[in-house]
């Protein structure tokens, strides 16, 4: 019964979107235009530069993911929850 799910580009994010829950997707090096979710009840936070887009598994942290701030997530969540459902 969640009003919103905040998650990285992962199974829980896509499952929540598929079940009709509003989502805030946090994307590191992957491209949300390719991966979705493709629903109007999704807000995407994505800070990757074009040259950082990658689908390779890596052992180090994604600079693109580290650029996402708490403020970015709070702003995206507030915007989503203010929008008519």
Beta carbons within 10 angstroms of residue 23's beta carbon = 28
- For 27-53, write each residue's pLDDT tens digit: 988 888 888 898 988 999 998 777 777
Residues 6+ apart with CB under 8 A from 67: 47
Structural domains of the chain in order of their starting residue, each with its CATH number:
4-82 (3.40.50.2000)
Average predicted confidence (pLDDT) for the chain? 87
Residue 11: both structure tokens together: 């199974």
Phi, psi at residue 8, to the nearest 5°? Answer: -70, 170
Provide the whole-model pTM: 0.83
76, pLDDT greater than 80: yes
């Amino acid at each position: 019964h969640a009003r919103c799910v905040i998650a990285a580009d992962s199974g829980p994010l896509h499952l929540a979107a598929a079940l009709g829950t509003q989502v805030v997707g946090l994307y590191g090096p992957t491209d949300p235009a390719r991966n979705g979710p493709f629903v109007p009840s999704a807000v995407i936070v994505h800070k990757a530069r074009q040259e950082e887009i990658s689908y390779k598994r890596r052992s180090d942290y994604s600079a693109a993911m580290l650029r996402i701030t708490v403020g970015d997530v709070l702003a995206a969540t507030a915007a989503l929850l203010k929008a008519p459902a």
